[in-house]
A and B are shown apart, each in its own frame.
Chain A
Amino acid sequence: MKRSSLVLLASGLLTARLIAADAATESVDRTWHDTQGRAIQATFRGIEGDNVFLQVANGYVHRIPLAKLTAEDQKMARTLKPAGLGIPLDPNLAQAAARIDTLVNGGLTKAGQQPNPLASDEQFIRRVYLDIAGRIPTKDETVAFLQDTSEKKRAKVIDQLLDSDGFSSHLFNYLADMLRVADVAQKARFYTYEDWLKDQVRKNVGWDKIVYAMMTADGHLLDNGATGYLLRDAGMRLDNLSLTLSTFLGANVACAQCHDHPFAEWTQRDFYQMASFFGASETYGVKGAKGGSQMEMRQVLRSIDDKRLQNAAKNIMRVNAMEIVDTGANDMKLPDDYKYSDGKPGDMVKPKLVTWKTEDTRLKSYQEAGNTIKKEEELRDTFAKWMTAPDNPRFAMTIANRMWKRAFGVAVREPVTDIDDVNAASNPPLLQHLAAEMVRLKFDMKQFMRLLFNTQAYQREATSYELADNAPYLFQGPILRRMTAEQAWDSCATLVVGNELDRYKANRGEKYAAAMKIDMSKPAQIEEQIRNAASAMRQYGGGKGNPKAGPAARKRMAMKQAQSGDDDTVESTPPMRDGLVLARASELPQPERDQHFLRQFGQSDRQIADSGSDEGSVPQVMMLMNGDAQRAIGSNESLVVQTAARAGSPEGAIESLYLSFLSRKPKPDELATAKESLNSGLTLKDLTWVLFNSREFIFVE
């Protein structure tokens, strides 16, 4: 139903065309009048100082001086309970968020479903800390939020967390799982890659620019961390491409690498035509046989007499040899077992871009790629420009769909690595819109997440029933999620040391590169350089990490690695308790060693993309019940125990622990039960154990 109405003053931005909201039955959504007799249909979002905030149907929130409303409406504004999320900080953002809500609600309505009620402040604060900063809030942070009476507090805390170190750390963890970021790969250390990626995230570089840089990076791993993505799979460009297409474009082509895709339209030839864009680029990894620095490397090795040093030199030169070079000549051929009629094994393959629809070729990105596709020296660049272009049919959609899943627990189209068929999404218009928003926001992931976190859909209660396997989930709210391994670990550390946690940064890349870099232009000093690098390398545990190092050795290593920090704001050593290094998961080894909390709780081993697990197991539960983490949390030095002990009374201590672990106060019966147990022989330490082992702790509402 369209209707025109008189426009209130507030801002000139207000358009005359208003659509009555669906939920017109709520009294907070009503027609408001000003003293000059003009009317507006709007939802009451709150009152602050002398201003009233009214949201019109298109989502825009107007700030209107109270005095301009009729006396009756002024009274109404003072008595009504605000609907929704309170007062937004940015009216345009509120409007964009409302547009998403409209699409979500449209999907729900169509299916005859209702959205969940809005989450309570307690649920909200724990959720946003975990989703944005990757950890639970401390008791103080929770209390500060709960006591804040401002109608703007939700929007404010979202903004504050988006600007915190935790945001970068948490997003890095997500990307590290997605991109299989590992300290050790190809027998070299990828610290420069990790630092480069962290830096991109910290500077909030656009996703298109990050991916473009990874696809087109040149030079040595030690000099240019961006080469890490391609060098991670040095010598395996087909595997790498298969991952590139599924990760960044949601194109499920793993099958087409070896044969025509059995379900989708991809053919093996399509795959090789895409691979051809990388046919003129050589990734020299450990086994790079020709060219690069390999010849020089052999000469150096021959010149060293000392056998032990020669071995060390091999490893060092190998690391120095990790390099991407454009050869200028495409050598991509069909595989030896090619069995289709459109080509013979060993045929050269010319590059060609895949399409999802035949009309795709009319898009600007395809047209532009067509102009450079014949230039073999620009093949990677051509591919990267096409892939990261705003009008690429899947690039923006893939990252938007992934970011949505981070916020809601389920993607609009699952799995995120296979979104070829957009119409199979649970809500196709929503998915299309999210992709358009990602483009509008210029691939700014922080802005995009800010948008999602400010939707009503996100701020609703978590869905409490089990999703059916085949029924699409339409986002009544986020689903109940188990914490990721990194969220759980960072939360454990928060319980022990609070927000001190963020003061330690690993910063290993620069130091590692400096130690390992051999300057070939100084042949006379090469042996000396190698001696120095060899002694530095011992600290990194040789070429392949140091899995056998005991806790003491690990501690020494962590200390050593940490001592490079020149920056005053950064701790040079992380806090240690009970043999645990209490730093962010993002600053610990990537991935952690097998027996570490992180791995036991499901951290990806970084061999398989997107393979962090949220499943339980008996060894994992044994670790939660009896392992190092519960010991550190329950120890007398732990922040939660000390905070609770300061409360003075048993009730105060119990309330403090509930706020620390669960971001809420205990209900009266819970308080009574806990008090009773303190009287029957349990201690505060035991209570920390109980709360830590509760389902409510490890799940995110």
Chain B
Amino acid sequence: MKPLFLFDSISRRAFVERWAKTTLGVTVLHNTSRLVSAAETAVANPTGGPGFGKAKRVIFLQMVGGMSHIDTLDPKTGETQGPKAPIKTKADFQLGGTMTNLAEHADKISIIRSMNSKTGVHAAGQYVIRVGYEQRGTIKHPILGAWAQHFQGPSHATLPASVCVNRQPAAGNGFFAASFAPLPVLEPEAGLQNSTYDTTDDVMQKRLALLNKVDAGFRERFQTAGVKSYTEFYDNTVKIMSSDDLKAFSIADEPSELREKYGQNKFGQGCLLARRLIEKGVRFVEVASGGWDMHNNIEEGMEERGTELDVALGALLQDLKDRGLLESTLVVLCSEFGRGPKINGNGGRDHHPKVFSTMLAGAGVKGGFVYGSSDARGEMVADKQTTIQDFLSTIGHIMGLPVDEVVMSPSNRPFTVGDKGKVVVDVLA
């Protein structure tokens, strides 16, 4: 049978509808059970093949506020150009003038220049780019890290499967258990919150021993899942706190030259922390950079945020390469939307969801590759429109997730990784 992604859009829709009818009627077990996947009857998106499962780890760089595509990944000339002229790169495409470090790594990256979003509002846009679904008052959707934990289990004996750096994870577990939520690290320098106790090791040992005795009767009497899970959380926490794994969170242990290379700012150090974490066994690390809402003075904004991004991203790609991790690590760069071609009265650019760019690098993707395009002004999609759902499905695919498999939420509603997006096969390698 012809893989579904080769069908035209109408027959694809017909297929999805038919498939939905057959699966939606199925009675499922309570709580996040897995349904028979479409893959068993037909293939909507490829499982296996190029890129599939290449990424054992993901570093997800999130530019909060709306990163201007024109000043970074999709440079233009003429009146929409902005403060800096495009620059040449190691590959056969250009980048925004601020991206001088990234230009040196252009051979390692794929850019999607035909992204398109339905929302131009920050919070709603951020929600969609992280989970693929629109925000609702009735359910929360999981981020990719939580999806991966659902399909692939934990990524390490003690370390969490997902970590969220420089931002609140906002319940990224979605409808999965709370243990699927990314662990937040709000300050990369400070590491994990509340991870050190304010007493001596000796006293803590005695406290824990006493706690074990004091609580034994209750644990024996109430052998419920709730009580057991708390006991597990205590065990895990004590394990993490007393193990060397906690050091994964300590960027102070990195050589100072390397820390310098990433840039001495929250985002740069966050990227360094991300590398440490994935190296030690965390599967999915999101690193956020705020301040991209450049309505005013985009020149100054790009000078600050843009340079931070460029420096950190260059250092990260180099560092991963040097350690032999780039082949198994996917680095993602994205934002909730782009910014418009017009420089406004305050020297800034306004929200622009109609077209924008994202970047993928490392595991499972081609290097030096551009997919899709915007028009000459960077205003509309010119070719190969790519939705956020397509984008997230592509990442899920590279992570080896069955993106077409329907999972029922505890409220019995059907969901898939990336909300039935179409994997962008062209960028896979």
| B203: Cβ under 8 A from any A Cβ | yes
Task: Mark interface residues in B219-255 (1 if CB within 8 Å of A CB, else 0).
Answer: 1011111110111011011001100000000000000
A619: which B residues are within 8 A, CB to CB?
183-184, 192-194
**B11-47 at interface with A (beta carbon < 8 Å):** 24-25, 29-31
Interface residue A114 (Cβ < 8 Å from any Cβ of B): no
Determine which of B25, B137, B194 lies in contact with A180 in the assembled complex, contact meaning CB atoms within 8 Å: B137
The contact of B198 among A262, A263, A415, A626, by CB within 8 Å, is: A626
Which chain B residues border A482 with CB–CB below 8 Å? 226, 230
Q: Is B77 an interface residue (CB 8 A)?
A: no
**Cα separation A615 to B228 with both chains bound (whole Å):** 11
A609 touches B29 (CB 8 A): no
| Residues of A in contact with B (beta carbons under 8 Å apart) | 180, 233, 239, 242-243, 246, 254-255, 262-263, 415, 417-418, 462, 464-467, 469-470, 479-482, 594-595, 602, 605, 607-609, 611, 613-623, 625-627, 631, 667, 670, 673-674, 677, 680-682, 686-687, 689-691, 693-696, 698-699
Give every chain B residue within 8 A of A615 (Cβ-Cβ).
177-179, 229
Whether B227 and A694, one on each chain, are in contact in the complex, defined by CB atoms closer than 8 angstroms, is: no
**Distance between Cα atoms of A467 and B137 in the complex (Å):** 28
A616 touches B413 (CB 8 A): no
Are B412 and A243 neighbours in the complex by a CB distance under 8 Å? no
Known: A246-B138, A615-B178. 5 other contacts (CB 8 A): A615-B179, A616-B179, A626-B196, A681-B206, A689-B207
Stretch in contact with the other chain, from B56-64, B86-94, B208-216, B359-367: B208-216
The distance in angstroms between the C-alpha atoms of A242 and B411, with both chains bound, is 15
Q: Are the C-beta atoms of B138 and A254 separated by less than 8 Å? A: yes
Whether A682 pairs with B206 at a CB distance below 8 angstroms is yes
Contact of A595 among B186, B233, B237 (CB under 8 A): B186
Partner of A686, one of B196, B203, B229, B231: B203
**B195: CB under 8 A from chain A?**
yes
For A470, the closest partner residue in chain B by CB is B30
In the complex, residue of chain B having the shortest beta-carbon distance to the beta carbon of A689: B207
Residue contact A480 to B210, C-beta cutoff 8 Å: no
On whether the beta carbons of B25 and A696 are closer than 8 Å, the reply is: no
Distance between Cα atoms of A627 and B223 in the complex (Å): 27
- Are A673 and B177 CB-contacts (below 8 A) given A464-B223, A619-B194, A699-B222? no
Contact A618 B237 (CB under 8 A): yes
A209 to B135, CA, bound (A): 31
Beta-carbon nearest neighbor of B30 in chain A: A469
Chain B residues, Cβ within 8 Å of A480:
222, 224, 226-227
Do the beta carbons of A690 and B193 come within 8 Å of each other? no
- Contact among B30, B137, B178 for A616, CB-based, below 8 A: B178
Inter-chain contact A674/B214, CB cutoff 8 Å: yes
B178 x A613 contact (CB < 8 A)? yes
Q: In the complex, which residues of chain B have a beta carbon less than 8 angstroms from the beta carbon of A417?
A: 138, 411
Query: How distant is the Cα of A196 from the Cα of B149 in the complex, in angstroms?
Result: 43
Cβ A670 vs Cβ B178 within 8 A: no
Determine if B160 is an interface residue (Cβ-Cβ < 8 Å).
yes
Among B214, B223, B411, residue most surrounded by chain A Cβ atoms (within 10 Å) = B214
Residue with the highest number of chain B CB atoms closer than 10 Å, among A466, A627, A680: A466
Q: Are A243 and B237 in contact (CB under 8 A)?
A: no
Set of chain A residues within 8 Å of B224, measured between Cβ atoms: 464-467, 479-480
Nearest chain A residue, comparing its CB with the CB of B228 = A466
A501-B136 Cα distance, complex, nearest whole Å: 36
> Is A466 in contact with B233, judged by CB distance below 8 angstroms?
no
9 contacts between A and B (CB under 8 A): A464-B222, A464-B223, A467-B224, A479-B224, A480-B224, A605-B171, A615-B179, A690-B207, A696-B215
On chain B, the residues within 8 Å of A467 by CB distance are 224
B137 touches A239 (CB 8 A): yes
Bound complex: CA A208 to CA B361 (Å): 57
CA distance A479 to B225 in the complex (A): 12
Contact A621 B211 (CB under 8 A): no
Which residues from A are CB-within-8-Å of B194? Answer: 619, 622-623, 625-627
Q: Of B221, B237, B240, B413, which is in contact with the most chain A CB atoms at under 10 Å from its CB?
A: B237
* Residues on the A chain within 8 Å of B135, using CB: 607
Residue of A nearest to B219 (CB): A695
B214 near A594 with CB under 8 A, answer: no
* Chain B proximity of A49: nearest CB distance (Å): 38
Say yes or no: B195 contacts A695, CB within 8 Å: no
A608 neighbours in B (Cβ, 8 Å) = 136-140
Set A233, A418, A625: member contacting B137, Cβ < 8 A: A233
| Chain B hits for A594, CB < 8 A | 168, 184
B170 CB–A CB distance under 8 Å: yes
Closest-CB distance, A421 to chain B (whole angstroms) = 13
CA distance A681 to B199 in the complex (A): 12
Name the CB-closest residue of A to B209: A677
Distance from B239 Cβ to chain A, minimum over Cβ atoms (Å): 10
Residue of A at shortest CB range from B33? A469
Q: How far is the CB of B132 from chain A (nearest CB, A)?
A: 16
B215 touches A694 (CB 8 A): yes
Q: Chain A residues near B178 (CB, 8 Å)?
A: 602, 613, 615-617
Residue among A180, A255, A605, A617 making CB contact with B179, cutoff 8 Å: A617
Inter-chain contact A625/B197, CB cutoff 8 Å: yes
Chain A CB within 10 Å, residue with most, of B135, B139, B206, B233: B233
How far does the Cβ of A515 sit from chain B's closest Cβ, in whole Å? 26
Distance of A470 Cα from B27 Cα, bound (Å): 12
Residues in A neighbouring B227, C-beta threshold 8 A:
480, 695, 699
Enumerate B127-185 residues with CB–CB distance to A below 8 Å: 135-140, 160, 168, 170-171, 177-179, 181, 183-184
Do A620 and B197 touch (CB < 8 A)? no
Contacts of A694 in B (CB 8 A): 211, 214-215, 218
A243 touches B137 (CB 8 A): yes
Complexed CA–CA distance, A609 and B138 (Å): 6
Contact of B206 among A465, A469, A686 (CB under 8 A): A686
* Residues of B close to A607: CB separation below 8 A: 135, 137, 140
Q: Give the Cβ gap from B138 to chain A, nearest Cβ, in Å.
A: 5
Contact of A680 among B181, B206, B236 (CB under 8 A): B206
Determine the chain B residues whose CB is within 8 A of the CB of A462 once the complex forms: 222
Q: Looking at the assembled complex, report how far the CB atom of B9 sits from the nearest CB atom of chain A, in whole angstroms.
A: 15
Contacts of B184 in A (CB 8 A): 594, 619
For B158, the closest partner residue in chain A by CB is A618
Is B8 on the interface with A (CB-CB < 8 A)? no
Chain A: which residue is nearest B221 at the CB level?
A464
B210 A673 Cβ-Cβ under 8 A = yes
